[in-house]
C-alpha cells in the first residue's frame, strides 16, 4: 500500500498515512481526516466532481500518480500539480495541499 504524506500549505500540518493502490487521493485524505482544501473551499468545493479546481495539489514524484486527465487539462493544471479528486495513487508520494484560494 502506497505511503502518502500530505502537508497542508495553509495550516502547516502534515500527516502520513497508507492508501490503497489506485486510491483516489481526495477520498483517501478525507478518510484519513486530512484537510486538502484552503479556507472556505472546505465548504464550497464540488465534492470531487472535477468542476471547481479547489483541490489543487502539488505531487512529488508525479510518476506515482496517474497522468493528467481531460478535466485537468481544461483547468490548465501545471505539470507538477494535480487535482486531488483526479489523482490516483500508485506509489509513495509527498503532497502539498491547500495551495489554491
> Which positions lie near ligand FES, rule CB under 6 A?
45-46, 48-55, 83-85
Q: Which is nearer to ligand FES, 2 or 84 (CB)?
A: 84
CA 87 to chain centre: 6
CB of 2 to ligand FES, least distance (A): 20
Cα separation, 101 vs 93, whole angstroms? 23
CB of 33 to ligand FES, least distance (A): 17
Half-sphere exposure of 81 toward its Cβ, with a 13 Å CA cutoff? 16
Q: Which is nearer to ligand FES, 7 or 56 (CB)?
A: 56
CB of 41 to ligand FES, least distance (A): 8
What is the β-pairing status of strands 81-83 and 56-60?
antiparallel
Amino acid at each position: 500500500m502506497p505511503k502518502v504524506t500530505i502537508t497542508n500549505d495553509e495550516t502547516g500540518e502534515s500527516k502520513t498515512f497508507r492508501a490503497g493502490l489506485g486510491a483516489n487521493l481526495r477520498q483517501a485524505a478525507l478518510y484519513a481526516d486530512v484537510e486538502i482544501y484552503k479556507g472556505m473551499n472546505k465548504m464550497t468545493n464540488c465534492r470531487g466532481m472535477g468542476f471547481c479546481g479547489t483541490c489543487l495539489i502539488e505531487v512529488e514524484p508525479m510518476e506515482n500518480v496517474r497522468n493528467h486527465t481531460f478535466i485537468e487539462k481544461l483547468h490548465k493544471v501545471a505539470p507538477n500539480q494535480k487535482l486531488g479528486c483526479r489523482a490516483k495513487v500508485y506509489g509513495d508520494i509527498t503532497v502539498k495541499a491547500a495551495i489554491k484560494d
